[in-house]
Amino acid sequence: MSKNSEEPRLLDILVEPPEEQSSPHYLGHRDRLRQKVLTFGIDALQDYELLEFLLTFAIPRKDVKPLAKEMIDFFGSFADVIEASPEELKHIKGIKDSAAALISAVRGSAVRLAKNRISADPVIKDWNALINYCKIDMGLKKSECLRVLFLDSRTRLIKDEILQKGSVNQTPVYPREIAKRALELGASSIVMVHNHPAGDLRPSKNDIAMTKAVINALTSLDITLIDHLIVSKTGYVSLKATGYIK
């Protein structure tokens, strides 16, 4: 073969474009997750898959499946991950501000959606919606707090406030302060809600005594305590249903 005939082949080799690099393997997995959500809905995803799907929006250039599993193992459950504060979330290597903010926004969105369901209509019209809202917002909190929902004469929500915060197993409650706030807002009735972080839903002696003290403080103002609910991550108890409120 002549020297001239070899030159075109040599030139082809020299200028041959490099082979295209294959896309990262996790991109195809993300597409499959996305299609699974669009086709079957969120319920089709396992907990780690749902967390993984959320993390893809905050961490676009990394395989986040191992990270999602690590977070659930560390905090205990998907719900506990969503409930964690940004500072707690950032204890996990790989979770920075963007991912922590996204997870906080997911939790805030769930609470807001649940609250919107009780804001327009009378609270007693959909009692399950009230229970759901309180469980979402308070069920996984690590310390006790007392929420009071102030209602008008048609049991529509006037104001929803956290009035007391306490230790892991005790919230200081001052019945006169609750009565005073109800009077300020022109409330005709209230619902009290507090959480038991340890998960035991049985009313304590303090819970019962505090409920009776609040009823006494409200009676002279012609304001009704509709119910006092105790919530946790496992469920709820109504002090009215158990006979402590007549």
Domain boundary among 111, 134, 161: 111
Q: Judge whether residue 30 has pLDDT over 90.
A: no
Residue range 105-112: average pLDDT? 93
Q: Which of 15-24, 100-109, 172-181 has the highest mean pLDDT?
A: 100-109
Does one domain contain both 85 and 58?
A: yes
CA distance 190 to 178: 9
* Residue in 95, 102, 45 with CA at minimum distance from that of residue 75: 95
Q: 227 and 201, same structural domain? A: yes
The strand pairing partners of 189, in sequence order, are 151, 224
Structural domain tally of the chain? 2
At which residue do the structure tokens 């249903």 appear? 241
| Rounded percentage of the chain residues whose pLDDT exceeds 90 | 66
Q: What strand order describes the sheet that includes 157-165? A: 157-165, 145-151, 189-195, 224-232, 235-238
Q: Are 129 and 227 in a shared domain?
A: yes
Pick from 108-117, 128-137, 219-228 the range whose average pLDDT is largest.
219-228
If asked whether residues 45 and 88 sit together in one domain, one would say yes
Tell me what the mean pLDDT of segment 103-120 comes to: 90
Q: Which residue has the higher pLDDT, 229 or 233?
A: 229
**pTM for this structure?**
0.75
- DSSP assignment of 83-118 equals HS-HHHHTTSTT--HHHHHHHHHHHHHHHHHHHHHH
Q: Is residue 143 part of a domain?
A: yes
Amino acid letter, residue 192 = M
CATH of the domain at 127: 3.40.140.10
Predicted pLDDT at 107: 93
Scored b (16 or more CB within 10 A) or e, 201-232 reads eebeeebeebbebbbebbeeeebbbbbbbbbb
Q: Is the pLDDT of residue 10 over 50?
A: no
Helix axes 205-219, 175-185, angle to 10 degrees: 40
Which is more confidently placed, 246 or 152? 152
Q: Which domain holds residue 227?
A: 122-238
pLDDT band at 28; cut points 50, 70, 90: confident
Q: Are 33 and 128 members of one domain?
A: no
Q: What is the pLDDT of residues 43-64, one digit of tens each?
A: 999 999 999 999 999 998 889 9
Give the pLDDT band of residue 14 (cuts 50, 70, 90).
very low
pLDDT in tens, 138-193: 988 888 999 999 999 999 999 999 988 876 566 677 899 999 999 999 999 999 99
What confidence score (pLDDT) does residue 212 get? 95
Q: Are residues 230 and 170 in the same domain?
A: yes
Residues 188 and 211 in one domain: yes
Q: What pLDDT, on a 0 to 100 scale, did the predictor assign at position 25?
A: 58
Using CA atoms of 131, 133, 136, 141 in order, give the dihedral in degrees to the nearest 10.
-80
Q: Identify the residue with better confidence: 101 or 22.
A: 101
pLDDT at 181: 96
pLDDT for residue 165:
83
- Residue 119 in contact with residue 129, Cβ under 8 Å? no
